[in-house]
Amino acid sequence: MKTFKILVGFMASLVLAFNVMATPVDTYEFKSTDNQKRALSLAHELRCPQCQNQNLIDSNSPVAQDLRLEVYTMVDDGKTNAEIVDFMTSRYGDFVLYKPRLDPKTYILWLGPFVLMLIALYVALVVVRKQRGKSTAAPEMTDADRNELEALLKSKQSQDNK
């Protein structure tokens, strides 16, 4: 019983620890929890321009802090997600988007995999069809074949019996 309690305590502290890890360190007070949710998910989708491979939440660099705060205040000011993303890209370029926009420059990113898959399907189809054309079923035996086979078997048997 005691070990069970210890185990539960340990699990609880683990859960708590992960919760703490998931929240950013800023002490910004949002007007509503909806705003907070929206701001945090936006900041997750925006890349820190300095540290390259972290989003605004994960990064501790000064510029990420600034941008994070900017996102928070813009959300609280009632700006839409599109407006905030525009604000960021007009300053830092498309680089800050972890999820690239669909425009002529990024068609290959968005559509490339599907095109490749279609080509692969087409090639597979062609190969399968070709295989099917060359029928792999055994050729039909004619009566003459059958007679010949029987004769051969018989001669073999008689040889074995000798």
Residue type, 68: R
| 120 φ, ψ (degrees, to nearest 5) | -60, -45
Residue type, 100: P
Whether the Cβ atoms of residue 122 and residue 80 lie closer than 8 Å to each other = no
H/E element, 136:
none
Contacts of 95 (CB under 8 A, 6+ apart): 47, 49
| Binding segment (CB under 8 A) for other proteins, from list 10-18, 72-80, 119-127, 138-146 | 119-127
Is 70 a binding residue for other proteins by CB under 8 A? The answer is yes
Is 118 a binding residue for other proteins by CB under 8 A? The answer is no
Is 130 a binding residue for other proteins by CB under 8 A? The answer is yes
| Binding segment (CB under 8 A) for other proteins, from list 2-10, 31-39, 88-96, 97-105 | 88-96
| Binding segment (CB under 8 A) for other proteins, from list 4-12, 15-23, 29-37, 64-72 | 64-72
Is 6 a binding residue for other proteins by CB under 8 A? The answer is no
Considering only 6, 12, 15, 119, the residue that binds other proteins (CB under 8 A) is: 119
Contacts of 65 (CB under 8 A, 6+ apart): 26
